[in-house]
Amino acid sequence: MIDVIIAGGGPTGMMLGAELRLHGVGVVVLEKDVEQSKVVRSMGLHARSIEVMDQRGLLERFLEHGTKHPLGSFAGIRKPPPAVDSAHAYLLAIPQTITDRLLIDHAAEVGVDIRRGREVTGLSQDEDGVDVELADGTRLRSRYLVGCDGGRSTVRKLLGVDFPGEPTTVETLLGEMELTEDWDTVLAVMTEVRKTQLRFGVSPIGDGMYRVGVPADGVSDNPQVPPTFEEIKKQLKAVAGTDFGVHSPRWLSRFGDATRLAEHYRVGRAFLAGDAAHIHPPVGGQGLNLGVQDAFNLGWKLAAAIDGWAPDGLLDTYETERRPVAAAVLDNTRAQMHLMSLEPGAQAVRRLLSELMDIEEVSRYLTEKTTATGIRYDFGDGHELLGRRMRDLELKQGHLYGLMRGGRGLLLDQTGRLSVREWGDRVDHVVDVSEELDVPAVLLRPDGHVAWTGEDQQGLSGALRRWFGEGEGL
């Protein structure tokens, strides 16, 4: 029996697979497409996702292929970068195709079994596992199944999970192509058009290619069918007054503003993650990031269940923690789409918000929303750090994130008096100090969120039991 089958080989599925392999869990990723997609829907990683990559030792790979940009934009309203509590307070611009490749490489390196051209068409489950049927008639059985198979998720439909929300009302045409017009002219036209059409944009991506996005003329009857090149040229002329001499398209696509959230993230031994659990407009570039962070939350919990030490209810915390985060992202993207409307009321709200964003606290609050650095899971009452992710701290002996590469829990103990001995097989004990940490000790989950602060051994032991199960009783 396979430990975990993951349906879908995008960023969420590959991140999840790699997280599980850190704990020796057997993983098979089933991806229906034979080749990696060439479509670039996401163009960057936000601060929290950058932190995630740093926690797993992957950041240098991404920095090599990305470009850093300042924070401080909401619905296209740009302000000076606010002070965000992160060692990586920037946007890393990097095409999704590169992000996909880097995560595929990482997953393969740690031993994920990636099977392309394998489409899930059926499933059933019992108390012990999940049976998965593929389009070619193959049947596989696993202890757990995770649907990371996108907004039209087959797994979600087979599980009978409702996906309520709003359908697409506006579409944007997107593609990569070459231009004959000189860049200075393109930039001048784009600057003028974007005064009103914020869904319009042209940006160079290297090798003589440009990424072009333009509002569509209505909504397609079949959004899965890419637009024709002639359709994009027609819309460019309608919106910008010129098609810039576009030619030689590499790929074409369309996306809408549909907004939906799965009613449940778990049904028995099956889970949903990434776009299979939530879809929303791409404003703010949060979609890929949200899925990667879903995987980061779920991976260690599934591994704990398979390894046999998961405390009661641990798997249920995946939904209780991540679903509210997705709901908040859906709300902020709804708000951003409204602020990009040309209607007088929306424009009035946009002007007002622009004024409010001159206030540092407002700009930081909105930035923390889009970068996911402001997330606080509900762990109950306690210190203000409780439930929040811990930023990368500078220690006397190095950096915090450098100690978290193995995906284990970690006690950062500035007192030297505490112990995690009974949990030593799943929690590391680091005695060190940091001028950036104003509590005696902090217990971190494998995803970097603070599970406990203090200096009392009894309180620490209670937190260890809550998140890491019973100790070995040494």
Could you report the per-residue pLDDT of 437-457, keeping only the tens digit for each?
Answer: 999 999 999 999 999 999 999
Q: Give the dihedral of Cα atoms 13, 15, 20, 21; nearest 10 deg.
A: 110
Q: What is the mean pLDDT of residues 32-38?
A: 85
- pLDDT score of 144 more than 90: yes
pLDDT recorded at residue 204: 87
Could you report the per-residue pLDDT of 273-288, keeping only the tens digit for each?
Answer: 999 999 998 887 888 9
Could you report the per-residue pLDDT of 213-234, keeping only the tens digit for each?
Answer: 999 988 887 777 889 999 999 9
Rounded CA-CA distance 7/367 in Å is 32
CA nearest neighbour of 7 among 104, 109, 162, 144: 144
Q: Report CA torsion sign: 2, 266, 302, 295.
A: positive
pLDDT recorded at residue 221: 78
Is the pTM higher than 0.85? The answer reads yes
Q: Which of 101-105, 170-174, 256-260 has the highest mean pLDDT?
A: 101-105
Query: Among all chains, which residue has been given the structure tokens 């999840």?
Result: 16
Residues ≥6 apart with Cβ < 8 Å to 232 = 173, 175, 177, 212, 214, 243, 246, 249, 252
Query: Among all chains, which residue has been given the structure tokens 């622009």?
Result: 354
- pLDDT score of 179 more than 90: yes
Q: What is the mean pLDDT of residues 398-423?
A: 96
Q: Which residues are paired to 73 by β-bridges?
A: 78
- pLDDT score of 474 more than 60: no
Q: Which residues are paired to 69 by β-bridges?
A: 91
What mean pLDDT value characterizes the chain? 94
Rounded CA-CA distance 402/14 in Å is 21
In this prediction, residue 72 has a pLDDT band, given cuts at 50, 70 and 90, of confident
- pLDDT score of 38 more than 80: no
pLDDT recorded at residue 207: 82
- pLDDT score of 51 more than 90: yes
Three-state DSSP class for residue 277? coil
CA distances from 301 to 65, 101, 222, 272, 469 (A): 31, 25, 38, 14, 11
Least confident of 77-91, 111-125, 132-146: 77-91
Residues ≥6 apart with Cβ < 8 Å to 187 = none
How many residues are present in the chain?
A: 474
Torsion angles phi and psi, residue 436, rounded to 5: -90, -5
Q: What is the mean pLDDT of residues 234-254?
A: 93
Residues ≥6 apart with Cβ < 8 Å to 34 = 116, 117
In this prediction, residue 473 has a pLDDT band, given cuts at 50, 70 and 90, of low
CA distances from 207 to 30, 68, 99 (A): 33, 20, 18
Could you report the per-residue pLDDT of 300-352, keeping only the tens digit for each?
Answer: 999 999 999 999 999 999 999 999 999 999 999 999 989 988 889 999 999 99
- pLDDT score of 163 more than 80: yes
pLDDT recorded at residue 414: 97
Could you report the per-residue pLDDT of 351-401, keeping only the tens digit for each?
Answer: 999 999 999 999 999 999 999 999 999 999 999 999 999 999 999 989 999
Q: CB of 71 within 8 A of CB of 367?
A: yes
All structural domains of the chain = 2-165+260-371 (3.50.50.60), 171-256 (3.30.70.2450), 394-468 (3.40.30.120)
- pLDDT score of 299 more than 60: yes
Q: DSSP character for 341? A: -
pLDDT recorded at residue 206: 80
Q: Residue 49: in which H helix or E strand, if any?
A: helix 47-55
